[in-house]
Amino acid sequence: MRSERKWFQNGSVNITVKNIPKSIYLVMKREAKEKRRSLNAEIIRALETEAAEAERRRQLSNLRRELDRFAASLPPLDESAPLIRRDRER
């Protein structure tokens, strides 16, 4: 039985990113220098920020679908007017 290859080391994964546009590289390098971080640390921070945003968008999308399902289960607004009028007349 062949063992699976382990890609994680100490809870981390190594990746290689190729063909990064020079403008992006320069911005990341400048940001790293200004924040006194290594370029690697700055790239990790950018990836963490984007991953958190992607997760937030996914959760918002799920909440929106749940809200739409709830709204669809409510009676149409036209039908509530007679109920409100009757309630006011009491």
**Tens-level pLDDT at each residue, the chain (90 residues):** 555 566 566 778 888 999 999 999 999 999 999 999 999 999 999 999 999 999 999 999 999 999 999 999 987 777 777 888 888 988
- Alpha carbon 11 to chain centroid, angstroms: 21
70 within domain boundaries: yes
85 within domain boundaries: no
Q: Considering all CA atoms of the chain, what is the largest pairwise distance in Å, rounded to the nearest integer?
A: 80
84 within domain boundaries: no
Domain ranges, residue 68: 1-74
43 within domain boundaries: yes
> Looking at the DSSP assignment, which residues form a beta bridge with residue 6?
none
Domain count, the chain: 1
72/65 Cα distance (integer angstroms): 10
